[in-house]
Structure 1
Amino acid sequence: MNTGSEDPNVIQLSFSAALAQYLERVRELGAVEGLQGAIQINPTLMPVLNAMHHVLAGGEVEVRILRGGQQEIVQELQQRAVQATQEANAINQPPGGVVVTAV
Structure 2
Amino acid sequence: MECNKEEAVRAKGIAEERMHNDDFEGARKIALKAQQLFPELENVSQLLAVCDVHCSAQNKIYGSERDWYGILQVERVADVATIKKQYRRLALVLHPDKNKFPGAEAAFK
Taking structure 1 as the reference length, the TM-score comes to 0.31
Q: Which has the higher contact order (CA 8 A, sep 6+)?
A: 1
More helix by share: 2
Structure 1 or 2, whichever has the larger Rg, is 1
Taking structure 2 as the reference length, the TM-score comes to 0.30
